[in-house]
Structure 1
Amino acid sequence: MPTLTVTDTSSGKSKADALVVLAVQEDGRAKVAPATALDRATQEHLDASLQALDATGAADEIVRLPGVPGIQGVVVISGSGLAASPQADDAEVVRKAAGAATRSLVGKVGSVAFAFPAETAELVVATGEGALFGAYEYDAYRSKKSAKPITKVSVLSPLAKDKAVRAGVKRAGVVATQRAWAQDLVNMPPLDLYPESFAEQVKEHLAGGKVKVKVQDEKALAKAGAGGLVGVGRGSARPPRLVTLTYRPAKAGQHLAFVGKGITFDSGGLCIKPAESMVSMKDDMAGAAAVAAAVAAIAELGLPVAVTAYLCLAENLTGADAQRPGDVVTMPNGKTVEVINTDAEGRLVMADGLCFASREQPDLIVDVATLTGAAVLSLGSRTAAALGNDDTTREEVVAAATTAGEDFWPMPLLQHLRSGMKSLVADIKHTGPRMGGMIVAALFLQDFVGDDKDGNQLPWVHLDIAAPAYSADETYGYVGKGATGFAVRTLVQLAEGRA
């Protein structure tokens, strides 16, 4: 992860390999957004160059200009799509513009300076965050590593000594580092990342910190009645694990529980997927990766909120003892489930996690899962769904996501769809009507959220991140191809709000 600093150096004195400025749109043409670090002559030169190139200033437009008078390195002009200089509430636009710039520079330069409008702490921090996000690259399995990884990012701003800026920069570094860890986990080939090795990765990453790690193997899970994890894991020679993370600061005023789906590879089981649908199925543990990374960030930031997290890890394969359609499994809360489609395995392991989380009586349970293709069909490739048993709590999570810069859309829990999960032989089937499949899956999960001391169901929000957790083809802003680390920032922001 690059180092992030803020300095009041001017663009002309910067020794970075690349200088990035922001472009806005004025009458359909690109124009450089004024910044304190840019002198008038440099800005006029850049504006003239943009006009000569017919640049538009649209989001994700990148223009490179070598040999700009008075600037040591190459100048990169990153489009924002804004009609005028950004304001505080344009933070995510700024993040994406900064990230698009560093993403275009990965492997080309070692240091990058940003002369963005940076007269408020929000804009300074957003610039730095986006730059760090865009600088991510995964080359662990390449025989030839990147010749020039980005190691230094600096934001040129007169607010270099501002307390809010310094605190924001520190936070940005922590969140970006943990988000990158989540990306690494998801990008890792499933040959090397499986339930046991995932658990070991988490133990190693969190060793010596404030988070306690407990790992339950297949024998312990069977004894605990975890029918979902045990059943899904039966088809693999690499058995399931449940990893419990516990962060308990002394002055915690709230207790949050996170549950993450961790299917390290999903073949569909006996209801096997088409070959082309399996290509990216190493990403089916993105929810567990996001949860683990968020807990790591929350603990490193020292937030005064208690968190218990459950990583539900299994590999869904077609071995000799694989779970069959028609099997009945018993969950930790005693409820029996008839298995209908073995490719709907995620909700089974998540049900176990929700049962265990409920026993702790937290103030809020949030589960994160790449759960349904229906969520992708409903909301497209960049937006996740948020469903829950309480509208106010669901909106709280969506608001946290908006502040963090992640796109969630609130969806209703339509109770009439639940009738399609009636079983002839068990308490419930784990699938229902195909139409409304995203909501059906959430309704199934709701059955495993426990009650509080007064007999009311615990507050619970379900985040279906199937679409934005992994970008197979599309790139935009700070999002490159592969794992995105989606939901890490939302969970951290939620914890900060509760704290």
Structure 2
Amino acid sequence: MVSVSLHDPSTLPDADAVVVGVVPGNNGPRLARGAKPVEAVLGRTLLAALRTLGATGQPEEVLKVPTLGLAPFPLVVATGLGADARSAESLRRAVGAAVRGLGHHAHVHLALDGPPGALSEGAQLGAYAFDRYKSSAERPALRRITLGATDDPSAKAELKRARAVVEAITRVRDLVNTPPNDLYPETFAQHAADFARAAKLQVEVLDERALKRERFGAVLAVGGGSARPPRLVRIGYRPARAKARVALVGKGITFDSGGLNLKTANMNWMKSDMGGAAAVVASVCAIAALRLPVEVTATVPMAENMPSGSAYRPSDVITMRNGRTVEVADTDAEGRLVLADAIARALEDEPDYLIEASTLTGAQLVSLGTRVIGAMGAERWRDQVAAAGNAVGEAVWPMPLPEELRAGLDSQVADLQNLPGDRWGGMLVAGHFLADFMPDRLPWVHLDIAGPAWNLGAPHGYTPKGGTGAAVRTIIAAVERLAAA
């Protein structure tokens, strides 16, 4: 990872590039707070140069100005902050957009006034690159980021937290971006176990024999069509004098072809269908790194949903770990099945709260688009988790679970079916299916990250094309709130 350190805001280091903020104004753009030392060393010509270049200060606007020997750094990069220039998320996005284009500069200095944690997160996430499979890739030269901020205990604490968050998001991005011929249930489980052991956490990996012995009927059924058998990973963080116990569950479908109900579109990004599992695995490691006084156990089912002679079929009836039976109406609604098995196991630990994250439904994209997480569950906890996510820069929208939609999950031959006969309210119906496995009075939330977990379009802010690391910041922030209660 890139190193991040603090630097006296009244002076400028000998960096390769210095980033300043620009905000829109009634009389044209103006420099954001923190840029005074840069403007001074350039003889107060920077703003005039930016206006000549057509600067507006709007988000995603990045302009580069060479200093031509007038400063101890060769380049100034001006990044638009937009109208909400003082918010932490605006700063994250602005510095992320600036640093995205500075990967070949060894030392970048941020001359912006703002929370050090947000600036650090935005810069490090913006510097992310996944080039593991490029045979002639040039490794990024960026090794050091300095922030113009006072070196005090509060700032150092923010940098420490930011590092843990960024490391978790980077892990998720790397896992999601890894092609499915290299990331399948066995190797995914090995990565998760390696992360857990490095963090000195308890870890358990169940192979197909153990899954059969432990009655994980849905995980075995969904993974039955693949030559690569399923796994289930359990990771436990047990701090002394924990204030609460939280269960994390994440969907780990390493590739989703749809099974016998073969997908007809979007299969090229179905390697991202394990984004929820990756987020859960990375989050518990980050929570341990931050030493939060909350006990956390992650339960992560991993399977590859493929068509073959051994694949599960529409109209099959699956017996879940908790003994309930589910009729398979559609093999492409597999995520809720493996999640229900994992939830049943997680509930055996008697948690105080449960957070589940998954790339569960295409209906999430229809309802909320590619950048907003849909949250469903017990209303009070749902709203608390959504508020925690929004506070740290992830867009999370609380969604209802209308009672009338539950009837579509009734089955004539089993306790319930995994998909109703109509397609209406698909995101909410999936939430209802999971709700059917939750006990009364348990605070639980389901985070549908189908769109936010994978960026199909161009990079924006600190978000790259491909895997994004969605839900990590929300999960960590929600647990932090429990720790602070």
TM-score when scaled to structure 2? 0.96
Q: CA deviation at 1:423?
A: 0.8
**Unpaired segments ≥5 residues, structure 1:** none
Answer yes or no: is the 8 Å Cα contact 2:9–2:111 preserved in 1: no
Could you say if the C-alpha distance between residues 102 and 242 of structure 1 is closer, same or farther in structure 2, counting changes exceeding 3 Å? same
Task: State the secondary structure of the residue aligned to 1:417.
Answer: helix
> How big is the shift at 1:447?
1.1
Q: Map of 1:31-180 to 2, 5 A cutoff?
A: 31-35=30-34, 38-41=37-40, 42=42, 44-67=44-67, 69-82=70-83, 86-87=85-86, 90-106=87-103, 108-118=104-114, 123-157=115-149, 159-160=150-151, 162-180=152-170
Contact 1:34-1:43 at 8 Å conserved across structures: no
1:202: Cα distance to partner?
1.3
Counterparts of 2:228 and 2:430 in 1: how far apart (Å)?
26
Match of residue 319 from structure 2: 330
Alpha carbons of structure 1 residues 147 and 199: separation in structure 2 relative to 1, 3 Å: closer
User: In structure 1, how many angstroms separate the alpha carbons of the residues matched to 2:441 and 2:321?
Assistant: 17
Q: How does 1:312-327 map to 2 (within 5 A)?
A: 312-327=301-316
Q: Does 1:193 align with 2:189?
A: no
Distance 1:144 1:252 in 2: 48
**Does structure 1 residue 244 correspond to structure 2 residue 228?**
no
Tell me the CA shift for residue 67 of structure 1.
2.2
Asked if the contact 1:114–1:155 (Cα under 8 Å) also holds between the matched residues in 2, the reply is: yes
- Per-residue CA deviations over 1:31-65 (Å, capped at 9, x if unaligned) read 21131662543383221011111111110100011
User: Does the CA contact (< 8 Å) of 1:8 and 1:37 recur in 2?
Assistant: no
For 1:479, give the aligned amino acid: T
Number of aligned residue pairs: give it: 480
Does structure 2 conserve the Cα–Cα contact (< 8 Å) formed by 1:442 and 1:462? yes
- Summarize the alignment of residues 192-271 of structure 1 with structure 2, pairs less than 5 Å apart: 192-271=182-261
**CA–CA separation in structure 2 for the residues paired with 1:139 and 1:43:** 40
Q: Structure 1: which 4+ aligned runs deviate by more than 4 Å?
A: none
- 8 A Cα contact 1:195 1:241, kept in partner: yes
CA contact (8 A) 2:117 2:161 kept: no
Aligned-pair CA distance for 1:77: 0.4
1:340–1:376 distance in 2 versus 1, CA, 3 Å: same
- Which position in structure 2 is the counterpart of 1:284? 273
**The residue matched to 2:442 in structure 1 has which SS?**
coil
SS for the counterpart of 2:44 is helix
1:357 to 1:43, Cα distance in 2 relative to 1, 3 A: farther
Conserved? CA contact 1:9–1:37, under 8 Å: no
The DSSP-based 3-state class of the residue aligned with 1:215 is strand
Larger CA deviation: 293-302 vs 28-37: 28-37
| Greater Cα shift, 291-300 or 220-229 | 220-229
Deviations 1:218-259 (A, max 9, x none): 111122221110110010010110100100001211000000
Q: CA deviation at 1:10?
A: 4.4
Q: Tell me how far apart the structure 1 counterparts of residues 139 and 232 of structure 2 sit (CA, whole Å).
A: 39
Mapped to 2, the partners of 1:136 and 1:33 lie a distance apart of: 25
For 1:207 and 1:153, the matched residues in 2 are separated by: 29
Residue type matched to 1:139 in 2? D
Q: CA deviation at 1:147?
A: 4.3
Matching residue's letter, 2:52 = A
Q: Distance in 1 between matches of 2:458 and 2:402?
A: 32
Q: 8 Å contact 1:179–1:488 — kept in the other structure?
A: yes
Q: How far did residue 382 of structure 1 move?
A: 0.7
Question: 2:59, 2:65 → 1: CA distance?
Answer: 18
* Contact 1:240–1:313 under 8 Å retained in 2: yes
**Greater Cα shift, 482-491 or 19-28:** 19-28
Which of 294, 299, 310 in structure 1 is aligned with 2:299? 310
> Structure 1 counterpart of 2:470, which letter?
F
| Cα displacement string for residues 54-98 of structure 1 (whole angstroms, at most 9, x for unaligned residues) | 111110100011125224131110101126xx43xx001111101
Residues 15, 73 of structure 1: 8 Å contact kept = no
Cα deviation per residue 1:362-415 (whole Å; 9 max; x = unaligned)?
Answer: 111110000000000001111110001x21111110111012210111100111
Moved more, 378-387 or 217-226: 217-226
What is the match of residue 456 of structure 2? 472
Counterpart amino acid of residue 96 in structure 1: R
CA contact (8 A) 2:231 2:302 kept: yes
Cross-structure match for 2:446: 462
Q: In structure 2, do the counterparts of structure 1 residues 361 and 114 end up closer, same or farther at CA, with 3 Å as the change threshold?
A: same
Q: 1:457 to 1:355 in 2, by over 3 A?
A: farther
**Cα deviation 1:281-335 (Å, max 9, x = unaligned):** 0000000000000001001111110001011100000121101000000111111
Opposite residue 356 of structure 2, the aligned amino acid is: D
Q: Percent identity?
A: 45
23-32 vs 321-330, which moves further:
23-32
Indicate the SS of the match to 1:307. strand
Inter-partner Cα distance in structure 2 for 1:448 and 1:328: 17
Distance in 2 between the 1:9 and 1:384 partners?
36
Q: How far, CA to CA, are the matches of 2:219 and 2:141 in structure 1?
A: 40
The residue type paired with residue 354 of structure 2 is: I
- Contact 1:237/1:319, CA 8 A, preserved across alignment: no
